[in-house]
Chain A
Amino acid sequence: MSIEFLDCNVRLGRTNNPLDSKIHTSAQIREHMKHCGIKGALVFHNEALTDWRGGNRLLADEIAGHPELYGCAVVVPACTGEYNADEYFSELDTLGFRAVRLFPKLNNFIMKPWSMEETLKGALKHKFPVLIDYMDYSDPMLPYSTWDFSPDYDEIYEIARAYPENNFIVVIPGMQSQRKQYAILAKTENVYLECSSFGYGSIEHICSNFGCRRLIFGSYMPVLEPGAFMTYIMYADISVEEKAAIAGGNLRKLMGGRDE
């Protein structure tokens, strides 16, 4: 059985710290994907961290003609009147976008059921999984602070329970947050964790207790090195079928099989 890797967490574009974007163009990212053996990737654009709509536009240009790159749009709550979720997501769909990504901390919004209704209904209609990124992008210790970092799992629990048909992927789930991660896996069915920053034995524990379907390979390339996390999956003490699901099969399903 062959194992195909689809990366749910890749960023294009320059940042204000060149150490965080040693490679940043579509061509450079694709070259490194080839080196590692990554077949496809959900990418967002760094510029979208400053100007979400403008960054998404730039991303559409970068991924055009490159079917191995699937767009991941940065969005904010539509209830503010900044955009119409259904119309905007229809546009994104035609441009090759396959997911949306929320930055509640960076973009300073409340990710509660009452504020996310329009956005999540739009995402569901277009079969976009919702990636959730709680990182503090002003933290000078990034990416190494991800050891101690933890997303707001209480907020994630509330929204996942309120919108059970949406699928939520938590990126950078926190290396030392197993007690929070396992609790949310136990109490929800539609929350998935990026299989990157985990501790020793976590893959095996999650597969045994919650099922391999709850893990999605993601690397945060080009800030972090994808090979580190691919090796974590490839050497885990789980079956080949479980490895294949985590490496790419699960993400493919969440994107509705539209990566082909």
Chain B
Amino acid sequence: MNEKILKLARHGKRFDGELIIDSHCHVGHAMPTITHGDSISAIQGTLERIGIDEACICTRGAGVVGDPFLGNDRTAEYVKRVPRMFRGYVTIAANYGNFVEEIKRGEAMGLTLGIKMHSYRQPHDLNEGRFRDMLEYLDSRGMILLHHYFGRPERLEQLLKTYRNIKFLEGHCIFDYARLARKYDNMYINTCAEIGFDNIRRITEAAGADKIIYGSDLSALDATFSLGAVAYAKISDEDKRKILGLNMKRLIEG
């Protein structure tokens, strides 16, 4: 087994020559924690120091209690300032309406990846009729739908069948979705915050290396936790490269 990526990590070397795209990042503060150095230049410096080429970002605070609209404005500032490094999701708070309007507003500000949704205090099922327009819009644009938790697999499966052009990217390495990732071309698993022992190898085996995508939860967590879990996983460098960057590149470009 080639171990170039493991060696880089063990020595703390920049991941030069490797494509690293972090698919699940946040910007801004959240109330229980101290967020250090989350200015645009500080986050940029962190990513460059490690060798992460691109970060796909959305707002952080709106996941729990913050203002999602203000959060989208702030997210757009990062994308506008350093477009080669930051790509943005529009955060959609399920308790509101007019979702398509907010997505279009975000797109106009440069948040063109798709949307990010959370579950905290937003216990809605995307199969509800009120989300139909939003899903049809995402489907028509082939966008990414990154969700903290999609709910029960059988409910998610209905969406996967109906909206074949949406790239469904679950947020936190839920093993129950691995079967769906195997079955549906438009279903992807995120490594975000998955630091359980040997779980990267297990999820790769379960869902296939083409369907696993690196995400870190920066700046809620450090970018290196999930990166290290992949780098030290007992899988091939070829699979690590897919997970760390190539798969997300395909989603972004496809």
- Seen from chain A, the residues whose Cβ lies within 8 Å of a Cβ on chain B are 19, 22-23, 35-37, 143-144, 147, 175-179, 182, 198-202, 204-205, 221-232, 234-235, 237, 243
Are A231's CB and B232's CB within 8 A?
yes
List of A residues within 8 angstroms of B200 by Cβ: 225
**Could you tell me which residues of chain B, from 30 to 58, have a CB within 8 Å of some CB in chain A?**
32-38, 46, 49-50
List of B residues within 8 angstroms of A225 by Cβ: 195-200, 228-229, 232-233
Are A176's CB and B197's CB within 8 A?
no
Question: What is the minimal beta-carbon distance from A54 to any residue of chain B, in angstroms?
Answer: 25
Are B224's CB and A232's CB within 8 A?
yes
List of A residues within 8 angstroms of B220 by Cβ: 199-200
CA distance A243 to B12 in the complex (A): 10
List of B residues within 8 angstroms of A227 by Cβ: 9, 228-229, 231-233
CA distance A23 to B225 in the complex (A): 21
A230 touches which one: B50, B226, B228 (CB < 8 A)? B228
CA distance A243 to B229 in the complex (A): 19
Question: What is the minimal beta-carbon distance from B146 to any residue of chain A, in angstroms?
Answer: 18
Q: Could you write out 18 A-B pairs with CB less than 8 Å apart?
A: A19-B196, A22-B198, A36-B10, A37-B10, A144-B196, A199-B222, A200-B46, A200-B218, A201-B35, A205-B36, A222-B198, A225-B196, A225-B197, A225-B200, A228-B232, A231-B228, A232-B228, A234-B224
Question: What is the minimal beta-carbon distance from B39 to any residue of chain A, in angstroms?
Answer: 11
Interface size on B, residues (CB 8 A): 37
List of B residues within 8 angstroms of A143 by Cβ: 195-196
Chain B residue nearest in CB terms to A198: B222
B229 touches which one: A200, A221, A228, A237 (CB < 8 A)? A228
Are A199's CB and B33's CB within 8 A?
yes
List of A residues within 8 angstroms of B46 by Cβ: 200, 237
List of B residues within 8 angstroms of A204 by Cβ: 36-37
Chain B residue nearest in CB terms to A37: B10
Are A231's CB and B35's CB within 8 A?
no
CA distance A144 to B199 in the complex (A): 13
Are A235's CB and B36's CB within 8 A?
no
Chain B residue nearest in CB terms to A179: B34
Question: What is the minimal beta-carbon distance from A180 to any residue of chain B, in angstroms?
Answer: 10
Are A36's CB and B232's CB within 8 A?
yes
Closest 6 CB pairs of A and B: A227-B232, A231-B228, A201-B36, A234-B12, A228-B195, A228-B228
B197 touches which one: A223, A237, A243 (CB < 8 A)? A223
List of A residues within 8 angstroms of B198 by Cβ: 22-23, 222, 225
Most chain B CB inside 10 Å of its own CB: which residue of A23, A182, A223, A230? A230
